[in-house]
């Protein structure tokens, strides 16, 4: 269940290691691609085309897996039935012997007035394309307006979240608007204002103090106002109120303040930590027969750190957990011992656009072009198909040579889309509904 980093890594390993005829493999996913999430900010800024980061499942897989185009909306572990809503709206029931839950995550939100209606996320391909159109639309509308108040609100952009997603999004889009000024001679460069805010006291604390300060310095040198210890108190269609009392004219609020496990996880009667399913070191949901969970849906113990530490929801862990889960499913089928998930951290990379980057591969701190080379080299090598690698590399070269384009492609709708519109968070069954559905199936034979 799920075609993110964890799900695709699991399927690829199952296809490679299972003997033909030994098992049937089914992948449930609403989209026919694996989204390379770390490069979404470059899609939003137009450096990469959407197709570049949508890695086709039909190319990256062998022809042994049945792909069901839909999303799991409930699972009955006792009846061993997965309830799936196909993209047509049809409900189908898939029986299973073993199920690997890798449904990923959604944008984490809070009970902030106006947030759900007026904020935009950066979690899906549609959101990245929408935000690009929206930002360029604000430049177009400000350029055409004679109302100074309207221009001020359209040219102020606020990004909430000082993690990797928020920092890279703010940096990439600020670079886009900065380069756009040569195409908008009526706009005053001083009117375009970018804000990056986070309730945490540090920017990307995982980088360490020195690299964190370096990244902060790069952003501020480029004119991005960074406010730490601050969040949003209220969000409106034309202004945003910060928790420090500031009220700013603003029509673009991008929300990247963390993630939460897929709502599918809440349909299980099993122990959870921070909304994620508790799993054993072998990635099994111990209370449920034949159920494995990984990636953002699982609170997997971090055996490297020990104690009560759990693995963070990162692509590195998802990829490796997918392979371990596949090995353990095969071991369970063959009645062999399961192995525990352990890892060695490869480091962190942060692409701030252009020649700006900070990276920490294997604990080595890098800045500038060396860091940029490591960041892009890592992302390029992590793409699953040669076609995807060729597209991304071509886009990078073309952007470096020809510069940015400022074309709205039509995703900008008359009615602004909300977070729920993009992430389908209200599509899931309750545990009681799943059990009732299973009882109906059993009664029908």
pLDDT tens per residue across span 37-47: 999 999 999 99
Q: What is the pLDDT of residue 201?
A: 93
pTM beyond 0.85: the answer is: yes
Residue ranges per structural domain of the chain: 5-107+260-345+422-443, 115-257+347-412
What pLDDT was estimated at residue 426?
Answer: 63
**305 Cβ contact list (under 8 Å, min separation 6):** none
What are the start-end ranges of the H helices in 86-124? 115-118
DSSP state of 385: S
Q: Which fold, 5-107+260-345+422-443?
A: FAD/NAD(P)-binding domain (3.50.50)
Residue pair 53/392 in contact by the 8 Å Cβ criterion: yes
The string of pLDDT tens digits covering residues 293-322 is 999 999 999 998 888 899 988 888 999 999
CA triple 21-26-30, angle to 5 deg: 160
- Overall average pLDDT of the 173-189 stretch: 91
Query: 348, 316 in Cβ contact below 8 A?
Result: no
Q: Tell me which residue of 173, 443, 163, 421 sits closest to 312, measured CA to CA.
A: 163
Our measurement of the distance from residue 234's CA atom to the centroid of its chain's CA atoms, rounded to an integer in Å, reads 24
Contact 405, 176 (CB under 8 A): no
Strand partners, 97: none
pLDDT in tens, 219-241: 999 999 999 999 999 999 999 99
Q: Is the pLDDT of residue 445 over 70?
A: no
With a CB cutoff of 8 Å and minimum separation 6, the contacts of 239 are: 153, 247, 248, 249, 250
Mean pLDDT of 42-61: 88
Q: What is the CA radius of gyration of the chain?
A: 23
Domain 115-257+347-412 has what CATH class? Answer: alpha beta
Report CA 188 to chain centroid distance, whole Å: 34
Q: Which CA distances in Å does 153 have to 51, 117, 237, 251? A: 32, 17, 10, 6
pLDDT at position 358 over 80 = yes
Instruction: Provide φ and ψ at 31, rounded to 5°.
Output: -120, 155
According to the model, what pLDDT value does residue 416 have?
A: 62
The burial of 172, by beta-carbon neighbours within 10 Å (0-12 exposed, 13-18 middle, 19 or more buried), is given as buried
For 133, the token pair is 């159109």
CA separation, residue 179 to residues 84, 175, 273, 334 (Å): 45, 6, 44, 58
- Among 98, 114, 116, smallest CA distance to 106 is for 116
Q: How far is CA 331 from CA 15, 16, 324, 335, in A?
A: 14, 14, 10, 6
176 alpha carbon, distance to own chain's centre: 21
């Amino acid at each position: 269940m799920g075609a993110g980093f964890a799900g695709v890594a699991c399927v690829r390993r199952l296809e490679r290691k299972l003997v033909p005829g030994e098992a049937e493999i089914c992948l449930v996913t609403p989209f026919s691609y694996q989204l390379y999430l770390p490069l979404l900010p470059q899609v939003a800024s137009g450096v990469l085309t959407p197709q570049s980061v949508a890695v086709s499942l039909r190319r990256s897989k062998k022809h042994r897996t049945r792909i069901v185009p839909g999303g799991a909306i409930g699972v009955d572990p006792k009846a061993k039935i997965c309830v799936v809503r196909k993209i047509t709206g049809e409900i189908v029931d898939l029986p299973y012997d073993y199920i690997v839950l890798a449904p990923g995550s959604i944008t984490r939100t809070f009970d902030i007035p106006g947030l759900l209606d007026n904020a935009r996320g950066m979690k899906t391909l549609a959101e990245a394309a929408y935000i690009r159109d929206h930002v360029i639309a604000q430049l177009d509308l400000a350029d055409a307006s004679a109302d100074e108040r309207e221009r001020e609100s359209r040219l102020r952009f606020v990004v909430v979240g000082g993690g990797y997603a928020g920092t890279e999004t703010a940096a990439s889009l600020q670079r886009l608007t900065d380069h756009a000024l040569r195409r908008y001679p009526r706009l005053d460069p001083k009117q375009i204002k970018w804000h990056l805010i986070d309730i945490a006291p540090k920017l990307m604390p995982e980088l360490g103090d020195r690299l964190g300060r370096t990244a902060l310095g790069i952003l501020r040198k480029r004119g991005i106002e960074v406010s730490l210890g601050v969040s949003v108190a209220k969000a409106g269609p034309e202004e945003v109120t910060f928790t420090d009392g500031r009220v700013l004219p603003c029509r673009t609020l991008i929300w990247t303040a963390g993630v939460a496990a897929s709502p599918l996880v809440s349909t299980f009667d099993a122990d959870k930590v921070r909304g994620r399913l508790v799993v054993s070191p072998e990635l099994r949901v111990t209370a449920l027969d034949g159920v494995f969970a990984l990636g953002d849906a699982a609170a997997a113990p971090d055996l490297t750190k020990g104690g009560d530490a759990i693995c963070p929801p990162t692509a590195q862990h998802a990829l490796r957990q997918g392979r371990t889960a596949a090995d353990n499913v095969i071991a369970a089928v063959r009645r062999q011992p399961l192995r525990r998930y352990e890892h060695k951290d490869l480091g962190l990379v942060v692409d701030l656009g252009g020649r700006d980057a900070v990276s920490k591969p294997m604990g080595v701190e890098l800045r500038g072009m060396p860091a940029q080379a490591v960041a892009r080299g890592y992302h390029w090598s992590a793409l699953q198909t040669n076609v995807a690698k060729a597209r991304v590399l071509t886009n990078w070269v073309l952007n470096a040579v020809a510069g940015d384009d400022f074309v709205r492609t039509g995703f900008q709708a008359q009615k602004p889309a909300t977070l729920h519109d993009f992430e389908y968070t209200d599509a899931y069954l309750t545990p009681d509904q799943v059990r009732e559905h299973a009882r109906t199936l059993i009664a029908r034979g």
